[in-house]
Structures are given as C-alpha cells and as structure tokens.
Amino acid sequence: MRSIFRGTLLAILTLLVVSTARADYGACDPGNGFSLAACLSLAEQGDASAQHKLGILYAKGEGVPQDFAEALRLFRLAAAQADAEGQYSLGVMYNNGLGVSQDFAEAMRWYRLAAEQGHAPAQFNLGVMYRDGEGVPQDYAEAVSWYRLAAEQGHSQAQNNLGNMYDKGLGVPQDYAEAVDWYRLSAKQGNDSAQGNLGNMYLNGNFVPQDRVKAAQWYRLAAEQGNAQAQGTLGYMYAAGLGVAQDYVLAHMWFDLSAQQGNADAARDRDKAASLMNPAGIAEAQRLAREWVAAHPR
C-alpha cells in the first residue's frame, strides 16, 4: 500500500479564503448593510479594521471590482498600525505575488509580526515556510514550534501538520501516539488531510491497533470532501476488499473521481479495475461518479 498523505496539503493559505476573527464590520460587511461610501470613510479616517476588511473585499471582488493593488494598499495601511489581520493579509499578498512581486522574505516578515501577536493563521504559515525553506533556511524544529502555537489555538491545519511532524520524526522524535492525537483533533474539525492521515494510521497499525474498517471510515470522510488522495485510497480499499466488501463498481467510481482531479495513480488503478469489469459495471460506476460530482459542486 503506497503512503499518500504527507500532511503538506494547503501549504500556504491564499487570501481568498482568509477567515477573520473580528466583530461585526457594519458598513464594511456585504451581508449586513454594506455601504461602500461608509466603509471607505472609515478606512480613510484610519480605522484599521475597516482598512483590512475593505482590503479583503477588493481582494475577493466582493461588493467592489477585484483589485489586488488596492487590497495591498489597504492591508499596508492596517499593518502599519500593528493590526495583526492586516499584517497577516499583507504577508499573504507577498507570499502569493498578489498585487506585488512574490517575495517570501517579505511575507515572512509580515507573518512574523502577526504571529508574535498570537495570530494563529500567521503562526501556521510561518511553520509551513520553515518546513519548506521558503524565505528562510529550512528548519523543522522551528516549523514545529510555530505549528504548535497555532495548533494549541485550535487551528486544524496546524494540528494536522504538527501530527505529520511527529508521524515522520521531523523536528521532533518520531512519536506515533502524538501524531494520532494531533491528527484526531484536526480530523474532528473536519480537516480532510487529517482524516486521511488517521486512515493511514489505522491501515498500518501505527500506535493504534490495525483496523481496516476504521481506516476505510476515515478515508471515506476525507473522500466525501473531495480529497483526491483519499478518493484514490478508498478505491483501493474497495478493489482489494480491505475494510469493506470488495466492489469493483465502487472502486472504479472512487478511482475515477480521484483521477478527474489529476491523480495519475488513480487513473491507472481505474483502468486496471475496468479490465476486470463488464460493460454494465463500468457504466454503473461512471453513472455513480457523475452523480457524485453533481452533488458536490466545487
């Protein structure tokens, strides 16, 4: 069985999925009496919260035309006031080259300022950059430190990545028990990568008793969220009859869904399963895959 979950998914949060933890923005909230004029007025008066929220709106094109340059300007104004959200979002812009040339070192600088204020997403992103050596020399121990700070605040991606560091022994001694604990905390929040990683732990019997049924259950939770790797692995479980009754139709369906997302291994496994099926079975698997896609719009 090939190992497929490495805990490195969603390495960098993009601006378009930034989740702020602020109170009601009033005039700057498109879902709550949005007034561009009032929001602009607040921002021009130096309100850091309004500057940041307005920047998010420009970055997403929500209520205003999408304009990364304007978003960058507003984030910079908020960040200059030591606003952690503004610092973090400015880091994201540099990290991803949105409205500015990509600059990992500058992204690190702004992430660190936000992280030192306890901003969990910034702490997580710092951990990723230390793990991957982006903007700084690669340092697994430092990555673990930042992941832990975010994970202890309940950041699900940080919990998953911290679990992976323990799983692989990167920056910390290998410890499957710790890995399982962090994976489970993340998985309970619905993190699909962590669910897949827990599936691996049960499939391989790492710290937890080997349990293919539980492995399949965790893979299914991740697969139903559209995780391509989990879909491919669940297909493998059905093809081999591991933890589930052997079923080539369902194996083909999950392989196909994974392959549609670019998983080359799943595409090969789908074709292998098809060679063992009759035309009616293949047609049924394709129908199920189409129905799943229709029921799970991206």
Return the structure tokens found at 172. 């910390």
Per-residue pLDDT at 25: 56
Q: What is the mean pLDDT of residues 44-61?
A: 94
Q: What is the mean pLDDT of residues 106-110?
A: 97
Rg (CA), the chain: 22
Query: Quick check: 85 and 22 in contact, CB under 8 A?
Result: yes
Start-to-end C-alpha separation, the chain:
29
* % the chain with pLDDT above 90: 85
Name which of 84, 91, 149 is nearest 123 in CA terms.
149
d(CA 291, CA 278): 20
Per-residue pLDDT at 140: 98
**Orientation angle between helical segments 248-259 and 279-295, nearest 10 degrees:** 50
In the 8-state DSSP scheme, what is residue 243?
Answer: S
Using the Cα atoms of residue 22, residue 24, residue 26 and residue 31 in order, give the sign of their dihedral: positive
Q: What is the mean pLDDT of residues 246-264?
A: 98
Per-residue pLDDT at 27: 77
pLDDT band of residue 101 (cuts 50, 70, 90) is: very high
Q: What is the mean pLDDT of residues 28-56?
A: 88
Query: Quick check: 210 and 200 in contact, CB under 8 A?
Result: no
HSE-CB of 276 using CA atoms within 13 angstroms: 13
Residues 204-214 have pLDDT tens digits of 999 999 999 99
* 241 to 102, 217, 218, 235, 251: CA distances (angstroms): 47, 13, 16, 10, 10
Name which of 106, 105, 43, 45 is nearest 75 in CA terms.
43
Per-residue pLDDT at 228: 97
Q: Is the pLDDT of residue 294 over 90?
A: yes
In the 8-state DSSP scheme, what is residue 15?
Answer: G
pLDDT band of residue 94 (cuts 50, 70, 90) is: very high
Q: What is the mean pLDDT of residues 220-238?
A: 98
Phi/psi at 287 (5° precision) = -65, -45
Using the Cα atoms of residue 88, residue 94, residue 98 and residue 99 in order, give the sign of their dihedral: positive
Q: What is the mean pLDDT of residues 59-67?
A: 92
Q: What is the mean pLDDT of residues 159-184?
A: 98
d(CA 228, CA 251): 14
pLDDT band of residue 285 (cuts 50, 70, 90) is: very high
Contacts of 204 (CB under 8 A, 6+ apart): 1, 210
Residues 11-40 have pLDDT tens digits of 333 444 444 444 345 678 776 778 888 889
Burial of 57 by CB count in 10 Å (0-12 exposed, 13-18 middle, 19+ buried)? buried
d(CA 95, CA 76): 14
* 239 to 95, 134, 291: CA distances (angstroms): 41, 40, 20
Query: Quick check: 166 and 158 in contact, CB under 8 A?
Result: no
**Orientation angle between helical segments 156-168 and 192-204, nearest 10 degrees:** 30
